[in-house]
Amino acid sequence: METKGERTRQLIIEKSLQLFSVKGYHSTSISNILGATGLTKGGLYGHFESKEAIWYAIYDEAVRRWRGVVFDGVHDITDPLRRIEKVIENDLMNYLGKDIFEGGCFFLNALVELSGQSPEMSRHMLRGFIGFSKLLQQWLVQAESQGQIQSDLNHREIANFIFISLNGAAALYAVTRDDSVLKQTTSQLHRYVRQLEA
């Protein structure tokens, strides 16, 4: 059973996530958060010591939501290449295409905004990006060990290329809102993955 304190904390996270997604971190004030939550300053600071502390909490919530969408159905797939294809499809069609966050891709928006402004927060996000790329690399290593892909491939470069392509599509889709960006990127990345096969 959730306590009142836990419900209030979750309310702060939910409302701040909406604000940061749409307005950005720097353009969102504590007053905006108070207005959205209906809390007093004391009520807010009883849960979070600063706006930055709120950001770290909503980042964790955003990651949780992203994982829920992007890895949906992935763990049931034993073939590592099909797993990569499923992650690509989920990320583009079900995460970006379904507007999970009001302002588009929370992570891309935050990285663009925070780069050069908040180095520690940017590094925090970069660690998440590197972790995703490393997971793709692990699946490629598994595919090679099973004889599914050519043995002379650079797993790190391939994983990074897929990751960069996903983020490029996210940026273009944010500007155009054109579903064909997502469909074409999904199709071409699937084709690319299949070209790796032995």
Tens place of pLDDT per residue across the chain (198 aa): 778 889 999 999 999 999 999 999 999 999 999 999 999 999 999 999 999 999 999 999 999 999 999 999 999 999 999 999 999 999 999 999 998 988 888 998 898 898 888 889 999 999 999 999 999 999 999 999 999 999 999 999 999 999 999 999 999 998 999 999 999 999 999 999 999 999
**pTM assigned to the model:** 0.92
Q: Rounded CA gap, 113 and 55, in Å?
A: 13
- Where does 71-178 have alpha helices with state H? 80-89, 106-114, 119-145, 155-176
In this predicted structure, what is the pLDDT of residue 25?
94
Amino acid found at 130: I
Q: Rounded CA gap, 9 and 54, in Å?
A: 10
Structure tokens at 68: 């829920």
Own/partner pairs, 5-8, CB within 8 angstroms, 24+ separation: 5/47, 8/39, 8/43, 8/47
Give the chain's length: 198
φ, ψ for residue 37, nearest 5 deg: -95, -20
Structure tokens at 100: 């999970």
Which helix or strand (DSSP H or E) is residue 54 part of?
helix 51-70
In this predicted structure, what is the pLDDT of residue 196?
96
In this predicted structure, what is the pLDDT of residue 44?
94
Handedness of CA 53, 56, 57, 62 (dihedral sign): positive
